[in-house]
Structure formats: C-alpha cells, structure tokens
Amino acid sequence: MQAKPFLSIEGVDMTFKRGAATTQVLKGIDLTVDKGEYISIIGHSGCGKSTLLNIVAGLTKATTGVVLLEDKVVDQPGPDRGVVFQNHSLLPWLTVYENVALAVDKVFGKAKSAPERREWVMRNLELVHMGHARDKRPSEISGGMKQRVGIARALAMEPKILLLDEPFGALDALTRAHLQDQVMQIQADLGTTVMMITHDVDEAVLLSDRIVMLTNGPSANIGEILAVPLARPRDRIKLATDPIYLKCRQAVLRFLYERNRFVEAA
C-alpha cells in the first residue's frame, strides 16, 4: 500500500463572488507535498498563489476540494501551520521577545512551564540570530530583522509546515540573500516542510526541492512541476555556474515568459 502524503491538496477550486460577478481564480489544483520537502509556488501576479496558500493555511475556504495535513482536513487556521507574510505582522506595542512569547504561550501554555517557555522563545530567536534584539520594538529594527522575528514566531509554534507568502519580497537584495541562506540552514537543521510563494526565479531554484508553476488566471491551475535535483547544502556562488542550476532556471523562465506570458487585465 502506498504511504499517505504528508500534505495533500485535492481538487481545489476557488471562486470569489462579489455581487452578481463571480471570478474563478483556481481550478482543479491537485498537489501532494512530502514531509521535509521545500516547495515553491511561482506564477504571474494575480494568478492565485496567495489564495492557494491561504487555503492551505485555513484562512480561506476552498469553493470545492479539500486540503489534508497528515490526513486531517484543514478547515481553519491552526498552530500546525506557521504562516509568514511579506509584510511582517508583528504587534508594534510588544517587544521582539513578547511577540514570540505571545504565540508560544498560546500554543504551549499548558504543555510547558514558564521557564521552559522562556527558554523556547529565546531558542527560536537565536535560531534566526535575533536574541540580541529581544527587548526592541518592531519600529526599532530593520525590515529584514522583522521578517526574522516573524519566522522565529512561526517556528516557535513547532508547525508541521511553514507557509511563506513572499517572505523576502520587501527586502533589499543583500538582506534577501542573507535570509534565504538562514532559511536553508534552518530547514536543514530542523527538517521543516516549507511551502513558499515567490516571484523570484533564482530564489525558487536556490531554495526548492520542487517548483510548482501556476498558469495565468482566471481559472489558474498547475501548469508544470519542476524537480530541482541540486545537492544540499547549496551555495549561491557555486550554483551561479552550475549547469543543473542554469537548466532549472531556464525551465522556469520559459514557462513564465514563453508559455505563460503575463497579460495585464484590461
């Protein structure tokens, strides 16, 4: 008998209704993700990437179809799915430590003692190298640092899967590269399963085990899935001339700019 998939998206359609108008955004999405896999979702603006991630997060209910995480139906948000958005969602009146502690207390309030929870908050801040800024408020740290705290907060809930919605999209190129390396390191250390939305072809190839390419909407579906057979750990400088890297990069570019060229809606 075949093993059950870790995450399974089955026959997902999504139609939004506004008054008499209806728009079908996603049509017939089927995807399975293995435990420990790093999956990227790529596609042109407005094709439905965030909608798909929100359905997996339990923030949006699919019109038809089902999402199963370890065989359990996803029908609401839960701590087994840690979500990080492009723009950090830290509470501005709390410190870095308190932002993470809020999530930890909510999830582990009963299971861990107060000292254990404090140690766990700090361990997760250290994981993203933010322990030194524990007493700062979000307004006192950079955009990249805020994203790192957001990642620490998501990881501190010990989610089964990390859902990243363009987590590096608002960052400058150097900060972005630094954070990509950190996320790769964390994933190698913890074996986290990740589903990440990105617009960035190099980011998708560098980080992913597989790249899921969505066709243009309306009624977007999965046009192609590309396996990225690059050994880990991955080094961005060495990969810049690696023939497998270049071949994967070209395959994604071809999909996006030849077969599914972006057409701006009228």
* Footprint on this chain of ligand ATP (rule: CB under 6 A): 16, 18, 25, 43, 45-51
Least distance to ligand ATP from the beta carbon of 189, Å?
29
Q: Are strands 38-42 and 210-214 parallel, antiparallel or unpaired?
A: parallel
H helix intervals, 3-84? 49-57
The 3-class SS string of 109-128 reads CCCCCHHHHHHHHHHHHHHC
Q: Which residues pair with 67 in a beta bridge?
A: 9
Least distance to ligand ATP from the beta carbon of 45, Å?
3
Our CB check for ligand ATP shows the closer of 75 and 140 to be: 75
**Closest by alpha carbon to 10, among 33, 35, 42?**
33
128: exposed, middle or buried (C-beta count within 10 Å: 0-12, 13-18, 19+)? buried
Our CB check for ligand ATP shows the closer of 77 and 109 to be: 77
Cis peptide before 159, with omega less than 30 degrees from 0? no
Rounded (10°) angle between helices 143-156 and 173-190? 20
Least distance to ligand ATP from the beta carbon of 47, Å?
4
Our CB check for ligand ATP shows the closer of 103 and 212 to be: 212
Least distance to ligand ATP from the beta carbon of 49, Å?
4
Cα gap 248→227, rounded to integer Å? 8
Our CB check for ligand ATP shows the closer of 19 and 243 to be: 19
Least distance to ligand ATP from the beta carbon of 54, Å?
7
Least distance to ligand ATP from the beta carbon of 17, Å?
8
Our CB check for ligand ATP shows the closer of 45 and 142 to be: 45
